[in-house]
Amino acid sequence: MTTKTNGPSEWAVRQEICEIGRRIYARQFAAGNDGNISYRLHDDLVLCTPTQVCKGFMKPDDLCVVDLKGRQVAGKKKPTSETAMHLEVYRGDPKVRAVVHCHPPHATAFGMAGEDIPTCVLPEVEVFLGVVPRANYATPGGNSFADSVRPFLGKANTVVLSNHGTVSWGPTVERAYWHTEILDSYCRMLILARQLGKVRRIPEGKVNELLDLREAFGSGTDNRRVEGGELCVNPRFGVGEGGKVELAEVVEGGAAGGVGGAGGARACSKCDGACACSGGDQADLVKAITERVMAALEAKG
């Protein structure tokens, strides 16, 4: 059975899902038959990975099709019971076209420790992820498991599932996977930085510049701006021996050293987590972040 889609052909999506499955397995984001991937083919039809199949060795014909009520309409293999969580995402946010669930080790470690993902630390996270909420634990496959992500739909693109893994979504399977990959890489950096002694924060004024950049990239308005929440989530994570939140040194407009360099005036050095530092040359910031993003995309291509 071939289903007419609102985007790329079903066969192309099947191939993409298998490719993303190979990446997930190669990155050790899923062991054995862990994880699942899906794509909304049409308003009420979803292509998904089957149960009891290793994501690193899937074939396009292994995938199955279900409707938004979870009833299988195509495919020889049975869908995983965790498909219910995918369907909850699609029902809750009609803009979502793809969902990826797996167990990236560093991000999952935060969920196992009950540690919220800090913000105001890494530019790419502010631009492409925003706040990554943590859902309460629920038994996989049940109705409560699907319900656990409901509060975050329309507000986030990635969620840490306590004592389980992560789920991310986006306009394509690859973009949904990118969110997971960015998150796990970030969590690894956080763990390493804390082992070095401290995690410094980006000043709030500079975080706002990144949120402007997020909107310019077409990633939507960050939910912290929509609901007026605190910019810096979990500010006590990685606090140094002095017990105070330290801010990164900032190069202000035109100073030597470039964005993030050693030269230039220091806007803020330390604060109690409540200070906001602003200023700087936004054009330099946009240029620096864009160059880093394009280099990452070219490396993946």
Angle between helices 173-196 and 10-26 (to 10 degrees): 20
Burial (Cβ within 10 Å: 0-12, 13-18, ≥19) of residue 51: middle
Residues constituting the chain? 301
Catalytic residue numbers? 82
Quick one: how far is CA 130 from the chain centroid? 8
List Cβ neighbours of 289 (8 Å cut-off, separation of 6 or more): 123, 124, 127, 210, 213
> What burial class does residue 47 get, using C-beta atoms within 10 Å of its C-beta: 0-12 exposed, 13-18 middle, 19+ buried?
buried
Strands 36-42 and 45-48 come out as: antiparallel
The CA distances from residue 110 to 29, 125, 131, 156, 253, in Å, are 14, 16, 14, 17, 36
Question: Distance of alpha carbon 294 from its chain centroid, rounded?
Answer: 18
Distance separating alpha carbons of residues 285 and 206, to the nearest angstrom? 9
